A and B are shown apart, each in its own frame.
Chain A
Amino acid sequence: DAGVIQSPRHEVTEMGQEVTLRCKPISGHDYLFWYRQTMMRGLELLIYFNNNVPIDDSGMPEDRFSAKMPNASFSTLKIQPSEPRDSAVYFCASSPLSSLTEAFFGQGTRLTVV
């Protein structure tokens, strides 16, 4: 398996534009997580899914953020409209159904909103 695949790796956009980040989890994994990493706040969990269903979205900062998982092999995180303070590295991770197993992370998307 190629691991968790995120796209794009880098995104630069202007304030007010819509941004969509994409993630393909490892096949067979039941859980998918979206994290945001910044220098100020470290690694924050935004939302996670179990079997394509959102379980906890309490970490989503504002209504401008939304996440979907239309099927087991694809998820999106959308920011509309984007703001400069959204600039961060966004990670997607997936995990199988077991507390004995770690989460597998993608390479991340570095988002810069100017």
Chain B
Amino acid sequence: GDSVTQMEGPVTLSEEAFLTINCTYTATGYPSLFWYVQYPGEGLQLLLKATKADDKGSNKGFEATYRKETTSFHLEKGSVQVSDSAVYFCALSENYGQNFVFGPGTRLSVLP
């Protein structure tokens, strides 16, 4: 079945540091890929998405490129802020929105 693997956290960075959170996936077809963010005490919010190979999703300074050849969708940000501290989930969906599959989440802490 489909699955998503993320780098284990927690990740602790200083403000303005470069961020990479690795994500790889296994899917039978051609999924859409997503990054969600969860702030403390809240639900998951979509951060960015990509729906086909080589697409780049971007939002709030975060970027991720859909790499079909390496089945990856790594999340990057050039300069993190304290307000980026949250848990980040990589996810995929196939079959017209059925059954979103989430990775385990990566907790990011950004220190001032």
Contact = CB atoms under 8 A, between A and B. Distances in A.
Question: Chain B: interface secondary structure?
Answer: strand
Contacts of A45: 99-102
Contacts of B28: none
A91 B105 contact: no
Given A42-B102, A48-B98, A56-B99, A100 B44 contact: no
Contacts of B43: 4, 91, 105-108
A-B interface, 8 closest residue pairs, ranked by CB to CB distance from nearest: A105-B43, A42-B104, A105-B44, A102-B46, A95-B97, A43-B102, A107-B43, A99-B96
Nearest to B49: A102
Contact of A97 (B45, B51, B89, B97): B97
Contacts of B89: 43
Q: How large is the interface on B (under 10, 10 to 19, 20 to 34, 35 or more residues)?
A: 20 to 34
A111 to B, nearest CB: 15
A98 B32 CA distance: 10
Interface of A: 4, 30-31, 33, 35, 42-43, 45, 48, 50, 55-56, 91, 93, 95-108
A31 B98 contact: yes
B93 A43 contact: no
Interface in B44-89: 44-46, 49, 51, 89
Contacts of B51: 99-100
